[in-house]
Amino acid sequence: MKVLVVGGAGYIGSHCVRQLQAAGHEPVVLDNLVFGHRSAVAEDVPFYDCDLGDPEVVGKILKEEQIELVMHFAAFAYVGESVTEPRKYYENNFVATLRLLETMIDNGVKKFVFSSTCATYGEPESLPIVETLRQSPINPYGQTKLDVENCLKAFAHAYGLSFAAFRYFNAAGAAEDGTIGEDHNPETHLIPLVIDAATGKRENIKIFGTDYDTPDGTCLRDYVHVDDLSRAHIAVFDKLAEPGAGYFYNLGTGTPNSVREIINAVEAVTGLKVPVVEDERRAGDPPALFADSSKAQQELGWEIKYKDVKDIIATAWRWHQSHPKGYED
Ligand code: UDP
């Protein structure tokens, strides 16, 4: 399948491009390189440095490259910033995605795979989180993703778009061979920050809240390997053959780990001591979020290769060791 990967130079997108190639598909990347890295994408993959919200340019790419399916990973994803600068999030995550979908429909490309998030659930009513739980985001980031999900349902019904939206839990880790990995600027995610504290790149790791109603008082999250996520995106292709079909899947391992457990696991994997500072709670952090992903496992045959968070951290550590400063570009 000829697949346009929008945001293919970003963290999850670049891993998906590699998995597409490994599975015999033909990825084409579109990325404006605001957050993406050109060197995260192999030279032999067609690459377009442009905006996804430009119908003329995107329409031309869809036609010339004979694209059959679009995967969309490009979004702003800083929850705190989405609260202080919601315009940016509605513009980039919702309006630009709407333009992309319109351009697809106008050009007869009607298969779509979307990066959604567990942030669409907000504070979940029960755990583990199943897809049918009420979605009630508590910040504009989660809201814009939910808005796109709703738009997809309407487009499937009206225009025969077939789609899958994956609600990611905490994406983590790096390619097994250590050649591509996580490089955000600024970095806000726990695992890379703990690794930086272990190596001395940061002074310490601050634990945001130690008085939660959890076994060790710190927040529980569901860390899932980026290559496991990527494989689900490809496993859904067959289901998108039917016009108007729409699917929502949670992607997480189902095993929660606390912030303290992550710190201990980084110490075990790296053999280094992590300086820790106990800090206040971070606004908007639910105490526990973890997935029931049995729907993806049953319907897509999705297999979780990295079940132990230490194995996920080991890949992040390998990437960090070979690229201590991240990507060159
Ligand atoms: N966290 C922390 N210190 C940090 C960064 C994150 O204690 O410097 C905690 C955060 O409060 C949350 C968990 O680590 O409970 C995962 O945070 P991250 O930002 O990686 O992902 P999120 O779950 O917010 O999407």
Supply the pLDDT for residue 317: 98
Going by CATH, does the domain composed of 190-222+254-322 fall within 1.20.58.60?
Answer: no
Backbone angles phi, psi at 6, to 5 degrees: -85, 125
CA of 243 to the centre of ligand 1 (A): 39
CA of 311 to the centre of ligand 1 (A): 19
The whole-number average pLDDT for the span 11-26 is 98
Residue with tokens 């032999």: 44
The answer to whether residue 141 is catalytic is yes
How far is Cα 28 from Cα 68, in angstroms, rounded to an integer? 11
Q: How confident is the model at residue 174 (pLDDT cuts 50, 70, 90)?
A: very high
Given the residues 48, 141, 247, 306, the one annotated as active site: 141
Which residues are within 8 A (CB) of 30 and not within 5 positions of it... i.e. 6 or more apart? 4, 5, 6, 7, 8, 48, 50, 52, 58, 61, 74
Supply the pLDDT for residue 329: 81
Q: What would you measure as the largest C-alpha separation in the chain, in angstroms?
A: 56
pLDDT digits (tens, 9 = 90+) for 279-291: 999 988 899 999 9
Task: Please report the atom of ligand 1 found closest to the CA of residue 190.
Answer: 20
The residue contributing the CA closest to ligand 1 atom 4 is 190
pLDDT digits (tens, 9 = 90+) for 231-255: 999 999 999 999 999 999 999 999 9
How far is Cα 192 from Cα 170, in angstroms, rounded to an integer? 12
The residue contributing the CA closest to ligand 1 atom 20 is 189
The whole-number average pLDDT for the span 167-187 is 96
Task: Please report the atom of ligand 1 found closest to the CA of residue 118.
Answer: 25
Pocket of ligand 1 from Cβ distances under 6 Å: 170, 188-190, 193, 205-208, 219, 221, 259, 282, 285
Q: Tell me if 42 sits within 8 A of 22, measured CB to CB.
A: no
Q: What is the mean pLDDT of the chain?
A: 97
Q: Tell me if 69 sits within 8 A of 112, measured CB to CB.
A: yes
Indicate the pTM of the whole model: 0.98
Written in H, E and C, the secondary structure of the chain is CEEEEECCCCHHHHHHHHHHHHCCCEEEEECCCCCCCHHHCCCCCCEECCCCCCHHHHHHHHHHCCCCEEEECCCCCCHHHHHHCHHHHHHHHHHHHHHHHHHHHHCCCCEEEEEEEHHHCCCCCCCCECCCCCCCCCCHHHHHHHHHHHHHHHHHHHHCCEEEEEEECEEECCCCCCCCCCCCCCCCCHHHHHHHHHHCCCCCEEEECCCCCCCCCCCEECEEEHHHHHHHHHHCHHHHHCCCCEEEEEECCCCCEEHHHHHHHHHHHHCCCCCEEEECCCCCCCCECCECCHHHHHHHCCCCCCCCHHHHHHHHHHHHHHCCCCCCC
Class of domain 2-172+223-251: alpha beta
pLDDT digits (tens, 9 = 90+) for 52-74: 999 999 999 999 999 999 999 99
Backbone angles phi, psi at 105, to 5 degrees: -60, -45
- Do you find a cis peptide bond into 186, omega within 30 degrees of 0? yes
Q: CA quadruple 301, 115, 221, 320: dihedral positive or negative? A: positive
Query: What is the domain partition of the chain in residue ranges?
Result: 2-172+223-251, 190-222+254-322
Q: How confident is the model at residue 309 (pLDDT cuts 50, 70, 90)?
A: very high
CA of 66 to the centre of ligand 1 (A): 41
Q: How confident is the model at residue 328 (pLDDT cuts 50, 70, 90)?
A: confident
pLDDT digits (tens, 9 = 90+) for 181-214: 999 999 999 999 999 999 999 999 999 999 999 9
Supply the pLDDT for residue 299: 98
Supply the pLDDT for residue 284: 84
